[in-house]
Amino acid sequence: MITNVVPSWAVMACGATLVAILMPPQDFPSGLIGVLAIAVVVAFVLQVAFYRPEGLVSRLSLALTGNVLITALFAVAFVVLSVVD
């Protein structure tokens, strides 16, 4: 079951890392929201297109919960780093 949601987590982590590298600090929140939206769409598309209907809600909730947690971790890191600067 975990292999079904890892791609959306990877999209979220890679996208948030790119936001941290490429965007100015004042644009971090909007960048994270955009990446979260893309990761949610990826999760829906993968689950609907390639996997069985049984357990769809469980897989989607796991994918979305992981994406939100990754977003929260990056947001906390951005706040801590902005205070340090």
Question: How does pLDDT run across 12-49, given as a tens digit for each residue?
Answer: 999 999 998 999 888 888 999 999 999 999 999 988 88
The rounded Cα 48 to chain-centroid distance in angstroms is: 18
The DSSP 8-state label assigned to residue 78 in this structure reads: H
- Cβ-count burial 30-52 (b if 16+ within 10 Å, e if not): ebbeebbeebbebbeebbeeeee
Q: Is the distance from CB of 1 to CB of 58 less than 8 angstroms?
A: yes
Three-class secondary structure of residue 51 per DSSP: coil
pTM: 0.86
Question: How does pLDDT run across 41-68, given as a tens digit for each residue?
Answer: 999 998 888 777 788 888 899 999 999 9
